[in-house]
Structure 1
Amino acid sequence: MRTVDVAEETGYSVQQVRDLERLGVIPPAARSDNGYRSYTTVHVHALRAYRGLAGALGPVEARRLLTALRAGTLTEAAAAVDEAHARLARERAEVLRAQGALRAIQDEETGPDGDSMTITELAEALGVRSSTLRFWEQEGLVEPERVTTLRARRYGPAAVGAARIVTALRAGGYGVPAVREIMGTLDGRDGLEETRRLLGDRLDRIAARSVALLRAGADLAEVVTAVRESAVQETAVPEVATPGAPPPPA
């Protein structure tokens, strides 16, 4: 296939196809004697897979994953794709917990967060660093309780719930000033409704990314299979006839 043929098949421009080849998203194209590129269906599958991965994980992670899929074993390739699905599942679970915390705030209940937590325990539960929680405290996003003479931080159920909401909003791309404004309005009905809408939008975007990853799955399978088959063919030892032995049957 010519570069223009691949571009038409995948919806990329000719320059984009060349750029993605240069970045390692697709395998290097074969070159004819006159220097023209020659592509195969594997390149088409790789470009389609990249589009889905970029929509699900972002372009940088998509490039890294596609490069790793071609270089690693089949087991490693499957594990990398499974981890991408798991990452989206973790993001979705965190937003759902944030929605639960928001409902608890609305109902003026302690919610499902249980007993108070240390900063280390909360950071581990949220998948963030302790320094991130300290930064959020400085910015007025989450207020912990201090209960020891060493002023060690402990977070009660309300603070844990607030931290879950902040985590979901920050992961959704909202800056600190926007999150501070949102957290400051949670006492009012309008603030609750707006936060509920934002968290719902976040779930919708995660769902769209999950669908993009699913669509990339079939093309990823074609790329990985083709690479594995090519590797097997390159390492296969040709059969050498033994002198004096009868020729193989026709």
Structure 2
Amino acid sequence: MGRNLQSGARLRPVDLARGHGLSTQAVRNYEEAGILPAADRTPHGYRTYTPLHAGALRAFLALVPAHGHRTATSVMRAVNEGAAEEAFRLIDESHAQLLDDRRTLQAVESAFRDLEPAAGSGPGVTFIGPLAGKLGIRPATLRKWESAGLVHPRRDPRTGYRVYDEAAVQDAGMTHQLRRGGYLLEQIAPLIAQVRAAGGPEPLEAALRDWHGRLAARGRAMLAGAAELEAYLRTRG
């Protein structure tokens, strides 16, 4: 939808929908969700929109790739309710999460850079409880990772307890970092297997480049979303 519409122009739902590859039902749903301001109605009950609604739609669609659908919805709802400070708080939280994700990536890269070959590791060094506590997760999570083939503790022949040697602790640490980075268990499994086979972080270079790319894309999307939101706020006055 172009930006050169007259301030008093009246738009139909289909006008907004066509400009963004949406259905008219999606536009109506966005209005009902508070993403768009409430529309006026014709004497026959038909919705009519204005360039203000077009600006709201542009802002929302720009915010989604930056902050996710849920946060973008909350931001637009807050703005339309006159609670701009709440909208800014939500955006600040999203920026803080991106910064935390960048720090997580740095930690993963550091861990992989210092990775030593798993073969030839020494005797068992810890049990499931202490390891879970160190990682800040539940023992059940470690057992889930074991079932997924990501961590391979050995069993004490006398007690049957799980014993995590250096290699298993290392695998658990890498899995934990990758999970924090947004990777699914099925995505982590081949990475862990490659590290075990290669004895170093080289097989993970492509995954780390992809992670960098995704974070950069979110950062740029945040800039685009901020620009559209600022334009919408100016339109609202």
- Structures share fold, TM-score greater than 0.5: yes
User: 1:199-243 deviations in whole A, cap 9, x for unaligned?
Assistant: 21022112112211211112223445666x5xxxxxxxxxxxxxx
Structure 2, unmatched stretches of 5+, are 1-9, 119-125
Structure 1 letter corresponding to 2:135? L
Q: How far off its partner does 1:59 sit?
A: 2.3
Q: How far off its partner does 1:172 sit?
A: 5.8
- In structure 2, distance between residues paired with 1:121 and 1:155: 15
Sequence identity percentage = 34
Structure 1 letter corresponding to 2:148? E
Work out which of the residue numbers 207, 222, 225 in structure 2 matches 1:216: 225
Work out which of the residue numbers 90, 108, 115 in structure 2 matches 1:80: 90
CA separation of 1:209 and 1:38: change in aligned 2, threshold 3 A: same
The root-mean-square deviation of aligned C-alpha atoms, in Å, is 3.7
- In structure 1, distance between residues paired with 2:112 and 2:66: 27
Structure 1, unmatched stretches of 5+, are 109-115, 230-250
Equivalent position of 1:99 in the other structure: 109
3-state SS of the aligned residue for 2:195?
Answer: coil
CA separation of 1:35 and 1:9: change in aligned 2, threshold 3 A: same
Structure 1 letter corresponding to 2:33? L
- Deviates further, 166-175 or 87-96: 166-175
CA separation of 1:168 and 1:66: change in aligned 2, threshold 3 A: farther
Equivalent position of 2:69 in the other structure: 59
- In structure 1, distance between residues paired with 2:227 and 2:115: 43
Q: Does the 8 Å contact 1:27/1:43 carry over to 2?
A: yes
Equivalent position of 2:40 in the other structure: 30
Equivalent position of 2:30 in the other structure: 20
- In structure 2, distance between residues paired with 1:225 and 1:133: 51
Equivalent position of 2:190 in the other structure: 181
Q: Does the 8 Å contact 2:117/2:199 carry over to 1?
A: no
1:93-242 equivalence runs, <5 A? 93-105=103-115, 119-123=132-136, 131-142=140-151, 162-163=171-172, 165-170=174-179, 174-189=183-198, 192-224=201-233
- Deviates further, 78-87 or 46-55: 46-55
- Deviates further, 169-178 or 57-66: 169-178
Structure 1 letter corresponding to 2:226? G
3-state SS of the aligned residue for 2:211?
Answer: helix
- Deviates further, 83-92 or 159-168: 159-168
Q: How far off its partner does 1:167 sit?
A: 4.0
- In structure 1, distance between residues paired with 2:154 and 2:135: 13
Q: Does the 8 Å contact 2:40/2:48 carry over to 1?
A: yes
- In structure 1, distance between residues paired with 2:163 and 2:199: 31
3-state SS of the aligned residue for 2:115?
Answer: helix
- In structure 2, distance between residues paired with 1:56 and 1:155: 41
Q: Does the 8 Å contact 1:182/1:195 carry over to 2?
A: yes
CA separation of 1:168 and 1:67: change in aligned 2, threshold 3 A: farther
| TM-score, structure 1 normalization | 0.66
Q: How far off its partner does 1:135 sit?
A: 2.8
Equivalent position of 2:122 in the other structure: none
Q: Does the 8 Å contact 1:94/1:164 carry over to 2?
A: no
